[in-house]
Amino acid sequence: MAYYYPEPSHTFSEYLLIPGYTSEECIPDRVSLKTPLVKYRKGMEEPAVSLNVPLTSAVMQSVSNDTLAIALAKEGGISFIFGSQTIESQAAMVARVKGYKAGFVTSASNLTPDATLADVLALKEKNGFSTVAITEDGTANGKLLGIVTSRDYRISRMDPSDKVADFMTPRAKLVTAPKDTTLKQANDIIWEHKLNSLPVVDEEDRLMYFVFRKDYSSHKDNPLELLDSKKRYLVGAGINTRDYATRIPALLEAGADVLVIDSSEGYTCWQEKTLKWVRDNYGDTVKIGAGNVVDREGFRFLAKAGADFVKVGIGGGSICITRETKGIGRGQATALIEVAAARDEYFKETGIYVPICSDGGIVHDYHMTLALAMGADFLMLGRYFARFDESPTNKVMINGAYMKEYWGEGSNRARNWQRYDLGGSAKLNFEEGVDSYVTYAGPLHDNVEASLYKVKSTMCNVGVTTIPDLQKNAKLTLVSSVSIVEGGAHDVTLRSTSNIK
Ligand code: IMP
């Protein structure tokens, strides 16, 4: 006879936290959200990689490209660049994150000296930047011949057909900086010469970057940014259980700091084989997470197979229809609670703490706090990040409101068959995800700051200032469906719904 669980599985919205004693020390500004990303001997050593905020972005085409990865690393979290693309383009995205120097911007507007004033104005209209690099071949890294800013022309006195060569500030009059200039040195030059922008050039006078005056305080704005020992942003990358022997070396060569096997279901021989290959070839030097699982057995299997962290969650993602198409999955809260207990049990047995990641299904900001309280070390979010400026997808106007596109890796649009691979012929036979829109929400920084402030405030209500203390001291209660109604605004007529998130 089949096994039946005695209790139904539950999700985040069915739980609430009970406040604990809040002391004077317990204020949001003193809360640390630092958390381990990879396994370590807790109590004996520090983890090789920790996050400064417990957020990672989903391994998805519509979420994690290099732009989002840079924005999230600035806040202290990490992105896993999606693997459902060619090895070359994924490695190039990783390399762009590692090559990114805060404050050093690749020129977005570029023309040749033969271009006209009309071209300058069209470019400004198109991308909004007023600094145009004039290079020999009109590319962002061509030989620098001059710069055009709005100080170089007067529309009322000039003809649209005037040549850039005749009104640009020529190379001879430009102050530039050499290739190895640090941000601090660049800012000193900017101040000394009262510049708005400083071109950085290589030995052959090819343009590498601009440093803009306004960017000078980048580090001060991002005190939690996640950097490696060479002060480059940390970045992760998704892999699959088919082409890992070629994909992993390319990703590592590009500079990936941590990998994750991206799969809808991780309790498989394929994940075990992939992890073994990594350990055989790289020992413990390569950090790799695995998943997803929803119970104790799944966790123990992956921990023993050598995973550096384990992702939890099947069927809870906002774009996910796995439960409907295949009838597999488990309420995210129940899955997390069981896997967290398995992680603690495994730690007691082995002395090794394998962090767990709650993946999918975070809808409200308070779900983040609940997931952490239930034992998650960090979270993975797709829908949440897809809404921001930095996500890779189009912003479109629908019924008068801005939306961003968001599609699942198991949808026909992504065609990421490797994620659902169970061996055999390699193709996506049926969809496990949808193609959708999410409400546009502006810049990542503002949203992450607001969400995490809520998390910190709730932690103060619980009476804790660290994630490990939250996991240890939180008191959680299941709520009845009637008390869920009681928890929302009720028995009043709302004047506005804008403050309900
Ligand atoms: P969200 O944060 O609720 O949007 O969930 C994101 C998570 O959903 C991802 O990290 C994946 O684990 C999962 N996911 C991504 N694409 C699909 C899909 O097409 N079907 C099912 N699950 C998906």
- Mean pLDDT (whole number) for 341-348: 98
CB-defined site of ligand 1, < 6 Å? 58, 60, 264, 317-320, 322, 359-362, 380-384, 408-411, 432-433
**Residue 366, token pair as written in the block:** 């308070």
Question: Taking the model in full, what pTM does it have?
Answer: 0.86
Left, alpha or beta for 104 (phi > 0: left; psi -120 to 50: alpha)? Answer: beta
Residue ranges in 374-439 assigned as alpha helix (H): 383-386
Pocket test for ligand 1, best of 60, 320, 367, 381 (most atoms within 8 A of CB): 320
pLDDT of residue 218: 60
User: pLDDT band at residue 215, thresholds of 50, 70 and 90?
Assistant: low
Instruction: Tell how far the Cα of 434 is from the centroid of ligand 1, in angstroms.
Output: 10
Sign of CA dihedral 243, 249, 254, 258: positive
Residue nearest to atom 17 of ligand 1 (CA): 408
Sign of CA dihedral 175, 179, 181, 182: positive
Point out the ligand 1 atom lying closest to the alpha carbon of residue 322: 21
Q: What percent of the chain is modeled with pLDDT above 70?
A: 97
- Gap between the Cα atoms of 203 and 148, Å rounded: 22
pLDDT of residue 65: 97
- Gap between the Cα atoms of 369 and 462, Å rounded: 10
Between 93 and 484, the more confident residue is: 93
pLDDT above 80: residue 30: yes
Sign of CA dihedral 393, 395, 398, 403: positive
Point out the ligand 1 atom lying closest to the alpha carbon of residue 434: 19
What DSSP string describes 30-88? G----EE-S-B-TTTS--SSEESSSEEE-S-TTT-SHHHHHHHHHHT-EEEE--SS-HH
Residue nearest to atom 22 of ligand 1 (CA): 320
pLDDT of residue 217: 58
pLDDT of residue 4: 96
* Highest mean predicted confidence (pLDDT) among 308-312, 416-420, 482-486: 308-312
Instruction: Tell how far the Cα of 86 is from the centroid of ligand 1, in angstroms.
Output: 20
Q: Where in the sequence numbering do the catalytic residues fall?
A: 320, 419
Q: Is 136 exposed, middle or buried (0-12, 13-18, 19+ CB in 10 A)?
A: middle
User: pLDDT band at residue 245, thresholds of 50, 70 and 90?
Assistant: very high
User: pLDDT band at residue 469, thresholds of 50, 70 and 90?
Assistant: very high
User: pLDDT band at residue 499, thresholds of 50, 70 and 90?
Assistant: low
How many of the other CB atoms lie within 10 Å of CB of 214?
Answer: 10
Instruction: Tell how far the Cα of 83 is from the centroid of ligand 1, in angstroms.
Output: 14
User: pLDDT band at residue 494, thresholds of 50, 70 and 90?
Assistant: confident
Instruction: Tell how far the Cα of 476 is from the centroid of ligand 1, in angstroms.
Output: 26
Sign of CA dihedral 431, 433, 438, 444: negative
Between 496 and 350, the more confident residue is: 350
Residue 349: strand, helix, or coil: helix
What DSSP string describes 207-245? EEEEEEGGGGGHHHH-TT--B-TTSPBP-EEEE-SSSHH
Query: Nearest Cα to 411, choosing from 69, 61, 63, 68?
Result: 61
Residue nearest to atom 23 of ligand 1 (CA): 320
Query: Nearest Cα to 208, choosing from 142, 157, 294, 288?
Result: 142
Give residue-wise pLDDT tens across range 111-138: 999 999 999 999 988 777 889 999 999 9
* Highest mean predicted confidence (pLDDT) among 65-69, 219-223, 414-418: 65-69
pLDDT of residue 425: 65
Residue nearest to atom 10 of ligand 1 (CA): 58
Pocket test for ligand 1, best of 264, 326, 332 (most atoms within 8 A of CB): 264
pLDDT above 80: residue 422: no
Give the list of residues 6+ apart from residue 113 with CB closer than 8 angstroms, or none.
Answer: 134, 145, 146, 163, 164, 165, 168
Point out the ligand 1 atom lying closest to the alpha carbon of residue 385: 2
Instruction: Tell how far the Cα of 480 is from the centroid of ligand 1, in angstroms.
Output: 27
Point out the ligand 1 atom lying closest to the alpha carbon of residue 318: 3
pLDDT above 70: residue 103: yes
Point out the ligand 1 atom lying closest to the alpha carbon of residue 58: 10
Instruction: Tell how far the Cα of 408 is from the centroid of ligand 1, in angstroms.
Output: 6
Give residue-wise pLDDT tens across range 272-330: 999 999 999 999 999 999 999 999 999 999 999 999 999 999 999 999 988 888 999 99
- Gap between the Cα atoms of 321 and 316, Å rounded: 9
**Alpha-carbon distance values, 327 to 314, 324, 361, 482 (Å):** 10, 6, 17, 28
Note whether 131 and 198 are within 8 A (CB). Answer: no
Give residue-wise pLDDT tens across range 36-83: 999 999 999 999 999 999 999 999 999 999 999 999 999 999 999 999
Mean pLDDT of the chain: 93
**Residue 336, token pair as written in the block:** 């997390």
DSSP β-bridge partners for residue 18? 475
pLDDT of residue 216: 58
- Gap between the Cα atoms of 287 and 300, Å rounded: 18
Instruction: Tell how far the Cα of 340 is from the centroid of ligand 1, in angstroms.
Output: 21
Give the list of residues 6+ apart from residue 90 with CB closer than 8 angstroms, or none.
Answer: 81, 82, 83, 237, 247, 250, 251
Taking the alpha carbons at both ends of the chain, their separation in whole angstroms is 44
pLDDT above 70: residue 427: no
pLDDT of residue 485: 84
pLDDT of residue 242: 93
Residue nearest to atom 21 of ligand 1 (CA): 320
pLDDT above 60: residue 501: no
- Gap between the Cα atoms of 36 and 53, Å rounded: 10
Pocket test for ligand 1, best of 56, 60, 84, 358 (most atoms within 8 A of CB): 60
- Gap between the Cα atoms of 332 and 361, Å rounded: 7
pLDDT of residue 219: 63
Give the DSSP letter of residue 154.
-
**Alpha carbons within 13 A on the beta-carbon side of 294:** 19
DSSP H or E segment with residue 104? strand 104-105
Pocket test for ligand 1, best of 63, 64, 292, 319 (most atoms within 8 A of CB): 319
190-197: Cβ within 8 A, 24+ apart = 190/216, 196/131, 196/149, 197/131, 197/147, 197/149
Q: Which amino acid is at 348?
A: K
Instruction: Tell how far the Cα of 385 is from the centroid of ligand 1, in angstroms.
Output: 12
Q: What percent of the chain is modeled with pLDDT above 90?
A: 82
